[in-house]
């Protein structure tokens, strides 16, 4: 579909639209935004990708709130926005579109703009010691200031009744994992309610994006969620590349696919192993840990970094893979695949393991869709969503592969999705390594000059789900705001629904089957 057709189909007549690359943005009256979003979301079935605010008071004199909707298969984003002129309130769309809740709460917490009509405007991510009157993403907040501590208390939702008690878990856990606090209300072993409290890893990353130099911005994006270094920085680089009209060399596109898939491979193998380990199936657990290590060592050999850091660059990549190395990699991948297949075969024949995984941590399809489920958890419910196909980027449009799908939405389904995705990653890697163009150029020579007063969106399919970066520039062509949407930010809201009526000893297993990032969520 052409952009003019898209405008005709999705955007009401009479609105002035601005087309920049793959983004169509248009200003909407504050009072119309609810209706417009509802139409895009419900009538046209577009995906809500993120909602965020921008502070442009120094530049033009207002706050703007941007709503990003993705048009599947077209790789086009519609961005209706509203302007809050001398106002600190905006109408909430959460009442109709439930998944908007987290974004609006985040705007309230970090910008101090109130979503009117939001059912529960609790602060998120920031600690109780952070004062309610200081809003860190506003331009008048200096990132180096340390506000005075206020000692507010945190109220978790409570369940009362005979025999019901609370178990507080974390934020410090028995293993070496990220911090998060979980409050279980249980009757015996059965879980009545789970309230996770996150934010312990809040690092002010989004504010830092506004301050650091461009090279450091790329490095920062690699550290948003350490296990997804490559796909995170890829999404950021894509946003900047679209903002500065840089076309990257063919070979770099293929290399980006190779590294993305290697990252997915290492993490999926790791998760498959950990799910088995948490079910107490040690054979599978230790074998997957071994295989993951082989992939990690290949990462180090190819790029000098086990987590593929320092590879992505605006305009291309910094590391090449020679033809001899590439054929060795292909051989090694074949061996890993064969080895893994054997481990999976043995594991799948263990009835005690399969019995433990199936039916555990089942999510209701409607609840999950209302929360906007993405990634592995979504595909485990049969939702066909994969940014590699929906918003094809890098060289993915030249490759043939299937989206992994399962129906049941339980731990077993999420486990199997990962296995299927490993198979498809192997297939992709094979095609890419064989089809990589021989030219030498890895990086565009064009200087990075960002368009003024513009928007750039980068979306990639990380191994957890799609990662979205929205970059907004100001009138002098500098980055004014970077909004990071890690898939964990969405899927954390679903975890608590998959656990109701399960028993306490099953929680670690269910949690592991999602394996969400704390760092990517807390930013």
Strand residue runs (E) in 176-269: 181-187, 190-197
Q: Toward other proteins, which CB reaches closer, 286 or 402? A: 286
Q: Which is nearer to other proteins, 438 or 505 (CB)?
A: 505
Smallest distance from other proteins to CB 187, Å: 12
C-beta of 115 vs 285, nearer to other proteins: 285
Q: Binding residues for other proteins, per CB under 8 A?
A: 167-169, 173-175, 189, 276, 278-283, 285-287, 290, 350, 352-353, 355-356, 503-508
Shortest separation between residue 116's beta carbon and other proteins, angstroms: 40
Least Cα distance to 443 among 221, 252, 242 occurs for 252
Cα→Cα distances 108→152, 224, 418, 422, Å: 18, 22, 36, 40
Q: How far is the CB of 170 from other proteins (least distance, A)?
A: 9
Shortest Å distance, C-beta 189 to other proteins: 6
Distance of alpha carbon 453 from the chain centroid: 25
Residues 6+ apart with CB under 8 A from 486: 224, 225, 228, 232, 462, 464, 467, 517, 520, 521, 523
Tell which phi-psi region holds residue 271, choosing left (phi > 0), alpha (psi between -120 and 50) or beta: alpha
C-beta of 52 vs 347, nearer to other proteins: 347
Nearer to other proteins, 484 or 499 (CB): 499
Which residue's CB is nearer to other proteins, number 17 or number 350? 350
Shortest reach from residue 191's CB to other proteins, in Å: 10
Quick one: 284 or 465, whose CB is closer to other proteins?
284
Tell me the closest approach of the beta carbon of residue 504 to other proteins, in angstroms. Answer: 5
Cβ proximity of 295 and 273 under 8 Å? no
Any idea which residue has 């990549």 for tokens? 317
Cβ 23 vs Cβ 469: under 8 Å? no
Q: How far is the CB of 444 from other proteins (least distance, A)?
A: 45
Give yes or no for a contact between 423 and 334, defined as CB atoms under 8 angstroms apart: no
> How many other β-carbons are positioned within 10 Å of the β-carbon of residue 162?
5
Name 98's Cβ contacts closer than 8 Å, sequence gap at least 6.
370, 371, 372
State the DSSP code for 163.
Answer: T
d(CA 80, CA 68): 7
- Which is nearer to other proteins, 275 or 399 (by Cβ)? 275
Q: Which is nearer to other proteins, 141 or 283 (CB)?
A: 283
* Least distance in angstroms from the C-beta of 270 to other proteins: 16
Handedness of CA 109, 103, 376, 309 (dihedral sign): negative
Give least dist CB 22 to other proteins, A.
44
Phi first, then psi, for residue 482 (nearest 5°) are: -125, 120
Tokens 């997915």 locate to 264
């Amino acid at each position: 579909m052409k952009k003019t057709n898209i405008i005709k189909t999705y955007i009401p007549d009479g609105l002035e639209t601005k087309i920049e690359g793959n983004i169509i943005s248009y200003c909407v009256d504050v009072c119309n935004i609810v209706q417009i979003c509802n139409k895009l979301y419900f009538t046209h079935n577009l995906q809500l990708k993120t909602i965020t605010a921008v502070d442009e008071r120094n530049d033009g004199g207002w706050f703007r709130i941007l709503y990003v909707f993705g048009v599947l298969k077209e790789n086009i984003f519609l961005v209706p926005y509203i302007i809050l002129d001398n106002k600190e309130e905006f109408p909430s769309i959460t009442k109709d579109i439930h998944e908007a809740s987290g974004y609006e709460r985040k705007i309230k917490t970090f910008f101090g703009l109130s979503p009117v009509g939001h059912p529960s405007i609790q602060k998120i991510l920031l600690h109780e010691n952070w004062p309610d009157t200081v809003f860190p993403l506003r331009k008048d907040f200096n990132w180096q200031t340390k506000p005075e501590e206020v000692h507010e208390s945190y109220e978790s939702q409570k369940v009362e009744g005979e025999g019901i008690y609370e178990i507080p878990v974390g934020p410090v856990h028995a293993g070496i994992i990220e911090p998060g606090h979980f409050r279980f209300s249980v009757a015996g072993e059965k879980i009545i309610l789970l309230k996770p409290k996150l934010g312990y890893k809040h690092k002010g990353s989004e504010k830092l994006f506004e301050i650091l130099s461009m090279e450091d911005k790329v490095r920062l994006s690699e550290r948003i969620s350490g296990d997804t270094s490559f796909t995170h920085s890829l999404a950021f680089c894509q946003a900047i590349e679209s903002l500065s009209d840089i076309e990257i060399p063919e070979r770099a596109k293929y290399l980006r696919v190779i590294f993305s898939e290697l990252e997915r491979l290492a993490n999926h193998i790791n998760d498959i192993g950990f799910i088995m380990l948490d079910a107490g199936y040690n054979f599978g657990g230790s074998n997957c840990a071994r295989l993951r290590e082989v992939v990690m060592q290949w990462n180090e050999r190819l790029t000098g970094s086990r987590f593929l850091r320092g590879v992505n660059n605006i305009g291309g990549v910094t590391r090449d893979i020679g033809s001899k190395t590439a054929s060795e990699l292909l051989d090694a991948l074949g061996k890993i695949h064969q080895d893994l297949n054997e481990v999976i075969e043995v594991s799948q024949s263990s009835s005690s393991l399969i019995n433990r995984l199936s039916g555990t941590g089942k999510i209701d399809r409607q609840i999950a869709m209302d929360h906007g489920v993405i990634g592995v958890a979504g595909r485990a419910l049969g939702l066909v969503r994969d940014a590699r196909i929906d918003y094809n980027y890098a060289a993915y449009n030249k490759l043939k592969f299937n989206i992994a799908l399962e129906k049941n939405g339980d731990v077993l389904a999420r486990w199997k999705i990962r296995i299927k995705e490993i198979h498809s990653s192997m297939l992709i890697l094979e095609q890419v390594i064989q089809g990589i163009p021989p030219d030498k150029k890895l990086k565009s020579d064009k200087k990075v000059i960002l368009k003024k007063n513009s928007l750039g969106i980068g979306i990639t399919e990380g191994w957890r789900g799609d990662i979205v970066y929205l970059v907004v520039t100001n009138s002098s062509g500098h980055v004014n705001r970077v909004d990071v949407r890690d898939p964990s930010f969405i899927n954390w809201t679903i975890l608590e629904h998959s656990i109701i009526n399960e028993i306490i000893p099953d929680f670690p297993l269910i949690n592991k089957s999602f394996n969400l990032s704390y760092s990517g969520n807390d930013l």
